[in-house]
């Protein structure tokens, strides 16, 4: 048992040769182990062989005659003699082959620990089935050969008799063969001669074809052959393929498929006419529109279509020859066009010569007129300069792109500039007071960008003494000779005294208005008390008179409040008490208040979505009330007044549209100026001082909004103003 565990023995047993180990316990010969190769050889029968008798392994597959005896005798002999035993050929039925006979070469190797009787046998099994089968086939072939020899011997005897009969026939055939050979030799010679002639002719024909191909491909013209009524491409030379920007893949395709853009052009029709009539056709400088790399191009071609006819006179195919003459044709067209233009130019020159003589006379007169105009212009410029100097106006000029500043001495004196180097644009702007600087820069940029007039009033500090002065600057941006707005020039005047007068006037108006307001309030109180007593006493006359008195007091109060507001605005004392409020609600309040006092008009309100603004509620209310009140005053009775509220991303826009007489364009520009009133037949009977819209404009401007009017005579007016919505920053 120790030997079985030996590494060498284990390696020997594991070799890819079918082996099993059995005990020498005769007559069972129990299987101890089976290697992988044996399992593969014997199939499923050997999978659980361990522990079984070697004869039990083959119970399902009984051996053939004497097979079991051979194996039993060999096992006993190997055990008894302790010597290796071979069974050269053991015939058995293989389980995996459904009973097919299989032959094995068996070697039995005894294994003993010493020289005593062996305890195990190693049985090596080699499949020699193919060798045995080969031997059996050889034996069978040998048997068949022997049988054939016997049959052949009998056949030979029969052939000997036949040969004698054939010998005579062969002699006759020999003579016929000799005659036939002579005839074959003659025919072969003739065939060889004819073949040589045909080969020579083919060589010459190939040379001619090669020469023709060379000529066709080298000729400086596109050549192709169209076959049949479908005009299928049969042949095309390289020049034509290059002209059409195509390759050999177009062979066999109809012309219309190759170049679909020709379908509506004359070429397919001309080819069809040549094919049906059999009459050739040619043209020069023919215009064609072709698609070249997806782009439609106009080309010019000289071409000819020549029919190739069958023996019966019908057309088989057409040879087309095409030459690109685009450059020549275009040059000819340009030449013709130039000739026509030259002819027209000559006619124009002839007429121009006549006009030139007249023009020269007119030009001389124009030169004289220009000289006089220049003289007058110089005189006008001199008078203008004298007027500016007399009026103590400073003149200035700003270069649009560089902001370079040019000015006269009067301007330098007004500004108090005494520097040795010329004053720059930035230096001048730096002297403007902070409350005016932003507006001034905006007006300058607007004038430079848009062109037009420039008029702005602002305050600045003088250079030399720092005194604050008020200036009014007027200018215009005019186009240069190229139409560009590059010339920005104007004048500036000192209006400090005028401003001070206005301030004194405003102070006076404010003081007087304030002094009038107190007694007017008392007067209103007394009038209301008297009105109540008259009502109690049912004195109709007193009631009517006092109602008119109270109404006039209200008007006077409104005027005085307006004057006070103007005074506060221009003195900078007006205060904005900003808060969050709903704009729609404020508009509705003013509509209800107006409707209570005036039932003569139908007011329509188209509200916008709920929107909150940050503004002075009372002052915005006065703006809405003023605009609605104007619509009521100036629009005919029983007409509609339409109020709309609209929203965009940043602002709310309120419009008040009436059906009044409208406002003239000249009045629209000044409508929001202080104390400005439109003078017309319709407005003569309507009281007012022209301060309401001025106050509205100032209030809206201080809320960072815009105000304006759109009007058409005879149709009506639409007043509008905008306010930033609550989610926008408010200064």
Burial class of residue 268, CB neighbours in 10 A (0-12, 13-18, 19+): middle
A 10 A CB-CB count for 180 gives 11
Q: What percent of the chain has pLDDT over 90?
A: 11
Q: Which helix (DSSP H) or strand (DSSP E) does residue 510 occupy?
A: helix 496-537
Long-range contacts of 413-419 (CB under 8 A, 24+ apart): 414/469, 414/471, 414/492, 414/493, 414/494, 415/460, 415/462, 415/463, 416/462, 416/463, 416/464, 416/465, 416/467, 417/463, 417/464, 418/463, 418/464, 419/463
Peptide bond into 27 cis (omega under 30): yes
Closest CA to 292 of 268, 326, 319: 326
Output DSSP code: residue 96.
G
pLDDT at 60: 40
What are the Cα distances from residue 219, in Å, to 171, 211, 212, 556? 70, 12, 10, 109
Strands (E) located in 534-677: 578-582, 602-606, 612-616, 640-647, 651-657
**Tokens read off for 359:** 């023009």
Class of domain 392-486: alpha beta
pLDDT at 723: 93
Q: Is 68's pLDDT higher than 70? A: no
pLDDT band at 709 (very low <50, low <70, confident <90, very high): very high
**DSSP labels for 339-364?**
HHHHHHHHHHHHHHHHHHHHHHHHHH
Please enumerate in sequence order all residues whose Cβ is within 8 A of that of 150, keeping only pairs 6 or more positions apart, or say none: none
pLDDT band at 61 (very low <50, low <70, confident <90, very high): very low
Identify the residue with better confidence: 116 or 15: 15
Please enumerate in sequence order all residues whose Cβ is within 8 A of that of 34, keeping only pairs 6 or more positions apart, or say none: 19, 20, 46, 49, 50
Contact in structure between 117 and 79 (CB atoms under 8 Å): yes
The CA distance from 273 to 275, in Å, is: 5
Class of domain 576-724: alpha beta
Contact in structure between 635 and 658 (CB atoms under 8 Å): yes
CATH tag for 219-324 (out of 3.40.50.300, 3.30.300.30, 3.30.450.20, 3.40.50.720): 3.30.450.20
Q: Is 59's pLDDT higher than 60? A: no
pLDDT band at 550 (very low <50, low <70, confident <90, very high): confident
Q: Is 78's pLDDT higher than 70? A: yes
The CA distance from 345 to 337, in Å, is: 12
φ/ψ (deg, to 5) at 672: -100, 10
- The whole-angstrom distance between residue 573's C-alpha and the CA centroid of its chain comes to 58
Long-range contacts of 258-265 (CB under 8 A, 24+ apart): 258/233, 259/290, 259/291, 261/289, 261/290, 261/291, 261/296, 262/288, 262/290, 265/289
The CA distance from 600 to 638, in Å, is: 6
pLDDT at 359: 66
Q: Is 219-324's fold the same as 392-486's?
A: yes
β-sheet bridge partners, residue 220? none
Output DSSP code: residue 219.
S
- The whole-angstrom distance between residue 456's C-alpha and the CA centroid of its chain comes to 48
To the nearest 10°, report the CA torsion of 206, 210, 211, 216. Answer: 140
Per CATH, the homologous superfamily of domain 2-127 is PAS domain (3.30.450.20)
**Tokens read off for 405:** 């500043």
Strand pairing class (222-227; 120-127) = unpaired
Of how many residues is the chain composed?
A: 731
To the nearest 10°, report the CA torsion of 355, 359, 361, 364. Answer: -170
pTM over 0.75: no
Identify the residue with better confidence: 319 or 543: 319
pLDDT at 212: 58
pLDDT at 729: 46
**Residue pLDDT, tens place only, 162-208:** 777 777 777 777 777 777 777 777 777 777 777 777 777 666 666 65
Contact in structure between 384 and 410 (CB atoms under 8 Å): no
The lowest-confidence range among 13-17, 26-30, 500-504 is 500-504
pLDDT at 387: 47
Task: Name the residue ranges covered by the structural domains of the chain.
Answer: 2-127, 219-324, 341-390, 392-486, 500-567, 576-724
């Amino acid at each position: 048992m120790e030997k079985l565990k030996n590494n060498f023995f284990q390696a020997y047993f594991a070799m890819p040769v079918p082996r099993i180990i059995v005990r020498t316990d005769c007559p069972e010969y129990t299987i101890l182990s089976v290697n992988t190769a044996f399992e593969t050889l014997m199939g499923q029968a050997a999978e659980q062989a361990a522990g079984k008798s070697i004869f039990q392994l083959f119970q399902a597959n009984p051996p053939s005659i004497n097979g079991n005896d051979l194996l039993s005798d060999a096992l006993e002999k190997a055990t008894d003699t302790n010597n290796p035993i071979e069974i050269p050929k053991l015939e058995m039925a293989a389980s995996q082959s459904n009973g097919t006979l299989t032959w094995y070469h068996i070697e039995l190797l005894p294994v003993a620990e010493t020289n005593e009787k062996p305890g195990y046998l190693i049985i090596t099994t080699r499949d020699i089935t193919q060798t045995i089968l080969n031997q059996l086939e050889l034996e069978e072939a040998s048997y068949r050969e022997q049988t054939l020899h016997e049959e052949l011997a009998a056949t030979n005897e029969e052939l000997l008799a036949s040969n004698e009969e054939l010998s005579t026939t062969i002699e006759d055939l020999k003579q016929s063969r000799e005659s036939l050979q002579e005839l074959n030799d003659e025919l072969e010679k003739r065939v060889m001669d004819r073949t040589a002639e045909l080969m020579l002719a083919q060589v010459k024909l190939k040379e001619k074809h090669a020469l023709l191909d060379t000529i066709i491909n080298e000729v400086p013209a596109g050549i192709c052959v169209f076959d049949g009524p479908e005009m299928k491409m049969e042949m095309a030379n390289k020049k034509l393929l290059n002209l059409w920007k195509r390759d050999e893949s177009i062979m066999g395709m109809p012309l219309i498929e190759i170049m679909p853009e020709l379908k509506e052009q004359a070429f397919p029709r001309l080819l069809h006419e040549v094919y049906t009539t059999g009459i050739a056709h040619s043209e020069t400088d023919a215009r064609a529109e072709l698609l070249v790399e997806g782009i439609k191009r106009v080309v010019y071609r000289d071409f000819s279509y020549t029919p190739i006819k069958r023996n019966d006179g019908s057309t088989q195919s057409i040879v087309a020859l095409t030459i690109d003459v685009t450059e020549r044709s275009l040059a000819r067209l340009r030449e013709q066009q130039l000739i026509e233009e030259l002819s027209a130019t000559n006619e124009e020159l002839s007429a121009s010569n006549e006009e030139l003589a007249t023009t020269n006379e007119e030009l001389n007169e124009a030169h004289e007129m220009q000289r006089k105009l220049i003289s007058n212009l110089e005189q006008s410029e001199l008078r203008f300069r004298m007027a500016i100097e007399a009026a103590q106006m400073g003149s200035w000029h700003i270069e649009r792109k560089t902001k370079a500043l040019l000015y006269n001495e009067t301007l330098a004196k007004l500004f108090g500039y005494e520097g040795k180097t010329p004053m720059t644009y930035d230096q001048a702007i730096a002297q403007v007071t902070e409350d005016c600087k932003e507006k001034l820069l905006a007006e300058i940029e607007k004038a430079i960008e848009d062109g037009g007039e420039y008029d702005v009033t602002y305050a600045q500090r003088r250079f030399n003494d720092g005194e604050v002065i008020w200036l009014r600057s007027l200018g215009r941006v005019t186009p240069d000779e190229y139409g560009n707005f590059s010339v920005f020039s104007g004048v500036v005047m000192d209006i400090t005294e005028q401003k001070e007068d206005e301030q004194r006037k405003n102070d006076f108006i404010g003081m007087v208005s304030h002094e009038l307001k107190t007694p007017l309030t008392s007067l209103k109180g007394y009038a209301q008390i008297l009105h109540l007593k008259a009502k109690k006493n049912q004195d109709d006359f007193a009631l009517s008179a006092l109602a008119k008195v109270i109404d006039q007091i209200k008007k006077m109060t409104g005027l005085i409040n307006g004057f006070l507001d103007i005074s506060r605005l221009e003195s900078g004392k007006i205060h904005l008490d900003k808060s969050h409020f709903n704009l729609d609600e404020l508009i509705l309040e003013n509509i209800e208040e107006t409707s209570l006092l005036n039932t003569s008009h139908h007011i329509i309100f188209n509200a916008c979505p709920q929107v909150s603004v940050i503004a002075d509620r009372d002052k915005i209310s006065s703006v809405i009330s003023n605009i609605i009140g104007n619509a009521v005053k100036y629009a005919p009775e029983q007409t509609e007044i339409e109020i709309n509220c609209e929203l965009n991303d940043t602002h709310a826009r309120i419009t008040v549209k009436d059906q009044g007489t409208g406002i003239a364009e000249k009045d629209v520009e000044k409508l929001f100026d202080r104390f400005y009133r439109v003078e017309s037949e319709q407005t003569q009977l309507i009281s007012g001082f022209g301060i309401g819209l001025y106050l509205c404009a100032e209030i809206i401007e201080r809320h960072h909004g815009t105000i304006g009017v759109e009007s058409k005579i005879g149709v009506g007016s639409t007043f509008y103003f905008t306010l930033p919505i609550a989610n926008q920053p408010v200064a």
